[in-house]
Amino acid sequence: MLFFVMVVAFTAVNPRFFSVRAMANVLQDFSPVVLMAIGQTFVIASRGIDLSVGSVLGLSGVSMALTIRAANSVGVDPWVAIALGMSAAMGVGVVVGLINGLLITYFRLVPFVATLATMGAAAGMSLVLTGGTQIAGAPKEVILLGNATYFGALTVPVVVVFLAILVSWAFLSRARFGRWTYAIGSNPFAARGAGIAVERHLVKIYLISGVLSALAGAFVYFRLGSGSPLSGRGGELSAIAAAVIGGMSLQGGSGKLTGVVVGALITTAVLSGLILIGVQPNWQQIVVAALIAVAVWAQGLSLGGSRS
C-alpha cells in the first residue's frame, strides 16, 4: 500500500515518475539493493548483522573491472573475459563472507564488530587497487549485457535478480535451511540442543550474504561499464533499511522475505522519486536513515513479525 501511495504522490508532482523509462531506472537501482537486502535477511533472521555488504559490492565490482580490463588488453574473447571477471567478483564475495562467518563463529566476535572490520578492510582494498579512480576499459558486450532492455524495462541482470528472489524465498520459507536459520535467530542455545550445527550454519549464511553482495557489485559494473571503489558506499544502510522496512526483526527469528523485497522497492523508489522532484542527492542517506528509524519504531509498537 505504501509503495502505491508513493507512486501516486511522486507522479502528481512529476508525471515522468510513472513512465516506463523511470520504472526501468527504478528496477536497475532496485537490483543491487535487493540482492544485498536478501543476504541481510538471512543474516538478520539468524540474529546477526552484516555491515560489509556495501564494501563487498564495491570491491567485487572493482575486481571484476580490473580482471576484464586485463583480459581485454591481451585479446581474450570478450565473453571469456566477462566470465573471468564474474569469477573474480564471486571470489571476493566468498572470501569476505567466509571471513565474516569464521570471525563470528570461531573467533567469537559479535557480528557488528566482525563485519565492521571487514567493511573497512574491503573498502580500503578497493582504494588500494584503484588509487581512488574508476576502472574503465570494458568491452561493448558488458554494456550490452547490462543495459539492453526487453519489454521496455527488463534487462538480463533484472531477470536474474527476480530468479534470485524466487530461489531465496524458497530456501528461507520452504526449506530446512530457512527453518534452521529462524531457529538460530529465535534461540541459538535451543537450536544447538536440537542438533543444529549452529556455527557451520552461520558460516553458510554469511557466505550467502557475501556472494549476493558480490553479484550486486557485478550488476552495477554491467550497468555502468566501469568499476568504482565508491559504488557500494552506503549500501549497508540501504540493505538494512529494506530489511527493516520489510518487517525483519533486528532481534532475529522472524520476518518475511516478501516484505524485504517490497522494502527494497520502497527504498529505491523513494530515492528515485526524490531526485525526479528536484531534491538534492545529498539528502538520500538522511531519508534512508529516517525510514529505518520509523520502521524500527513501528516494529516496537507491533506484536512482532511472523515467518513467510
Question: pLDDT tens digits, residue range 59-113?
Answer: 999 999 999 999 999 999 999 999 999 999 999 999 999 999 999 999 999 999 9
Phi-psi region of 197 (alpha: psi -120 to 50; beta: other; left: phi over 0): beta
Cα 182 off chain centre by: 20
Q: How far apart are CA 167 and CA 177, in angstroms?
A: 12
Residue 9 lies in a domain: no
| pLDDT value at 304 more than 60 | no
* Banded pLDDT at 303 (limits 50, 70, 90): very low
Q: How far apart are CA 153 and CA 25, in angstroms?
A: 8
Q: How far apart are CA 107 and CA 93, in angstroms?
A: 20
Taking each helix axis from N to C terminus, what angle separates 53-73 and 235-245, rounded to the nearest 10 degrees?
130
Amino acid 51 reads: L
Return the minimum-mean-pLDDT range out of 10-14, 126-130, 154-158, 259-263: 10-14
46 neighbors 202 (Cβ within 8 angstroms): yes
Amino acid 297 reads: W
Phi-psi region of 89 (alpha: psi -120 to 50; beta: other; left: phi over 0): alpha
The CATH number of residue 99's host domain is 1.10.3470
Residue 15 lies in a domain: no
Full residue range of the structural domain in which residue 219 is found: 22-297
Calculate the average pLDDT of the chain. 90
| Alpha-carbon distances of 287 from 237, 240, 243, 290, 294, rounded to whole Å | 11, 13, 15, 5, 11
29 neighbors 271 (Cβ within 8 angstroms): yes
Sign of CA dihedral 162, 167, 168, 174: positive
The per-residue pLDDT for range 36-46, each reduced to its tens digit, is: 999 999 999 99
Q: How far apart are the first and last CA of the chain?
A: 18
Residue 138 lies in a domain: yes
CB atoms within 10 A of CB 148: 10
Q: What is the pLDDT of residue 1?
A: 61
Q: What is the pLDDT of residue 147?
A: 92
Residue 184 lies in a domain: yes
Q: How far apart are CA 308 and CA 305, in angstroms?
A: 9
Q: Which of 18, 19, 20 is nearest to 6 (CA)?
A: 18
The per-residue pLDDT for range 104-118, each reduced to its tens digit, is: 999 999 999 999 999
| Domain total in the chain | 1
Q: What is the pLDDT of residue 36?
A: 98
Residue 171 lies in a domain: yes
Strand-pair partners of 125: none
Residue 116 lies in a domain: yes
The per-residue pLDDT for range 194-221, each reduced to its tens digit, is: 999 999 999 999 999 999 999 999 999 9
| pLDDT value at 283 more than 60 | yes
Residue owning grid cell 515522468: 16
Q: What is the pLDDT of residue 302?
A: 62
Residue 3 lies in a domain: no
Long-range contacts of 187-190 (CB under 8 A, 24+ apart): 187/253, 188/47
Amino acid 37 reads: A
CB atoms within 10 A of CB 75: 7
Residue 140: all three cell numbers together:
561493448
